[in-house]
Amino acid sequence: MDEIDIKIRLATIEDLELILAFISQKAKFDRYPHSLEITIDKLKQTLFTQPPLAQVLLAQVDEVAVGFALFSYAYSSFLAQPTLWVGDLYVQPLMRGKGIGTALLQRLAQIAQEADCGRLEWTVADCNTRAIAFYQKHGTQVLNVRLCRIERSTILQLAGKRIDKRFTAFYK
């Protein structure tokens, strides 16, 4: 395999359209394009306000972006330390197997180390066996857990319910 020059950089506000395109590509790859509700304005409000809710790394080869990783911080109560949560890690299909995913993962590990994170975590679909093998090659433990999700419509419904009077003392 020929050596390629991979550069990893933090995305800037000028990269909004590129970020939108990468997220759309990943949604299509994951077979969830119908779930996309993102817009340039939403990305701008969440990624480039202070403090940002998440950040994006871009992987470039010959000055062309070929992959990205979106990450944010969570908190591990078990460790009493921050966790670096990777929401998305994606490399364009024709660029896979060239070390780009490894470079993104290494930079994420460096960021986690700099922030004194106790963990670096993300999800992977059970059917994505190629990704699972890639992650395991880099020392990842693939845990047997289930992702739980409440969509916005259910959040609104649940948040609007009256709290049982027996529990109101806990919320005052």
Active site residues: 135
Q: Which two tokens stand for residue 94?
A: 């024709």
Helices (H), 48-161: 100-114, 129-137, 152-159
Q: In whole angstroms, give the CA distance from residue 59 to residue 100.
A: 7
CB half-sphere exposure, 8, CA atoms < 13 A: 21
Q: In whole angstroms, give the CA distance from residue 4 to residue 99.
A: 8
Q: Which two tokens stand for residue 16?
A: 């909004």
